[in-house]
Amino acid sequence: MKPLTLLCAVLLATPVFAEDPAAKVVDLKAPQAIELVKKEAAAAKADPKKAPLTVLDVRTPEEYAKGHLAGAKNVDFHDDAFKDMIAKLDKSQPYLVHCAAGGRSAKARDLMKALGFQNIFHLEGGMTAWQKAGGPVVEAGDAPAKP
């Protein structure tokens, strides 16, 4: 293949993207980073002997009552006032967000990021993965802690 033909083939095969003025390069070490953490890392981050971290359980109160992480604050994702409750939290504090499997908490962490929260940790696989990995839970009968 001749060099000019090769160059034309490469140029035609190369996708061209228009620059999106709203697109930004995300620096994962910058303050608004979201970190996906597994059970072991979540347990270490939620250690009360270390820096304060608020654990947000975004499941329903019924799910929360069946078992939750010690000290977790229950903020029901399906509550009509969810966004308002989250918006009132201190955006400079670190939060570990989780639900049952990761769907609701992924939406919650995205909302938190949009609201300007600076340190968000997302428990990979939620309570299901936490319990499957042998993570400790507080059993039913405890009233949900509110943020």
**CB of 33 closer than 8 Å to CB of 122:** no
Q: Give CA separation, 56 vs 72, 118, 129, in Å.
A: 6, 15, 16
What three-state secondary structure class fits 37?
strand
The dihedrals phi and psi of 94, each to the nearest 5 degrees, come to -80, 145
Residue 99 bears catalytic tag: yes
Find the catalytic residue in 53, 75, 99, 108: 99
**CB of 91 closer than 8 Å to CB of 118:** yes
Which residues belong to the active site? Answer: 99
